[in-house]
Amino acid sequence: MSSSITMIEARRKFGVALSTLVLLVTVTSCGESSKIYSKNSELGVFFTIPNGWHHIPEETIRSYEVEGADAAAKQKADLVLWQEAYSESGKTTAKNLLQLEAPKALTAFVRVRALTLEESDAMSYNGLRNLVLPVTELISGTSQVVNDFQLLEETEIVTQEARGLQTIFSFTPKDGENETIHQTALLSNDRSAIYFFLVRCTTECFNEGQKNVDAIVKSLTVKGKR
C-alpha cells in the first residue's frame, strides 16, 4: 500500500511540474510575440516596438515627402535607402512624422540615407546633431527657430559599423505644444550613409511612455550592409 501511495504522489508531482513547465513556455511565447520586429536585413538595421502599434510604411512616407517638393528635395528623397515608422495611434500620419509639431501619440521613425560625396566630406557630429533642428545654434543661443529649447542629454554612440550621437531635447514649436525628441544619428564608418532614428511625442506623452521609449531606443541595432 505504501508503495502505491508513493507512486501516486510521484505522478501527481510530475503532473504539477509538467503543468508549470507548459505555463512557463506559454508565457515565454506570449512575451516573445509581444513585440513587432522592424528590420532591413540588407542594411543590417533593426529595432523592436510594442505589439499593436500602427505601421506607417515607406511608400506612404515618401509619397508625402515628395508631394510638391522641389528638385533638390526630390533628389535627397531618392537617396533614402530605407524608412518606416510606427505609432501608438492609428491616427498618426506621414505628415505628423515630417512636420515640426509633435505627434499626439508616441512615434518611432527610422531612416537610412546615402550621402552625396559633398555631404560625406562635410558630415560631422554637429551635422548629425542638427538633422531635425539646428541644435548646435540653439544651444549657443544663436538661433530662435523654436521656443523653450532644452538639451536634456547627449551621448556618443560607437558601434562596429557606425558612430554618432544620441541626443534628447525638448522645445515648443511656434503655435505648438511642447515636445520631446530622442534622436539617434549615426554616420557609417565608410561615411557613405547616415542612420537616423527618432522617438518623439508631446512632452507629456513622452514622459508617460518613458518605459517604452527606453526599450525602443535600446533595441536599435546597426550592423551595416551585408
Percent of the chain with pLDDT over 70: 85
Asked if pLDDT for residue 20 goes beyond 90, the answer is: no
Averaged pLDDT for residues 118-147: 95
pLDDT for the residue 28 = 36
Q: Using CA atoms, how far apart are residues 137 and 130, in angstroms rounded to an integer?
A: 9
Is the model's pLDDT at 92 over the cut of 60? yes
The conformational region for residue 52 under phi > 0 = left, psi -120 to 50 = alpha, else beta, is: left
Residue 43 reports pLDDT greater than 90: yes
pLDDT tens digits for 94-128?
Answer: 999 999 999 999 999 999 999 999 999 999 999 99
C-alpha cell at 25: 513556455
Residue 211 pLDDT > 90, yes or no?
yes
pLDDT at 58 over 60: yes
pLDDT, position 24: 33
E-state strands within 100-214 = 107-114, 147-158, 162-172, 179-188, 193-202
pLDDT higher at 224 or 187: 187
- In terms of DSSP bridges, do strands 179-188 and 193-202 run parallel, antiparallel, or are they unpaired? antiparallel
> Which pLDDT score is estimated for 18?
37
Query: Pick from 200, 147, 134: which is nearest to 175 by CA?
Result: 147
Q: Is the dihedral of CA 105, 130, 49, 90 positive or negative?
A: positive
Looking at residue 177, what is its pLDDT?
Answer: 94
- In this prediction, residue 23 carries a pLDDT of 34
Residue at grid coordinates 492609428: 90
Mean pLDDT to the nearest integer, 187-201: 97
Q: Is residue 91 within 8 Å of residue 105, measured between CB atoms?
A: yes
Question: Residue 139 in contact with residue 154, Cβ under 8 Å?
Answer: no
Mean pLDDT score of the chain:
87
Contact (Cβ atoms closer than 8 angstroms) between residue 158 and residue 76: no
Given pLDDT bands bounded at 50, 70 and 90, which one contains residue 33?
A: low
Report the alpha-carbon distance of residue 87 to residue 107 in Å, rounded.
4
pTM (global) more than 0.75 = yes
pLDDT score, position 225: 80
Burial 55-67 (b: 16+ CB within 10 A, else e): ebebebbbebbee
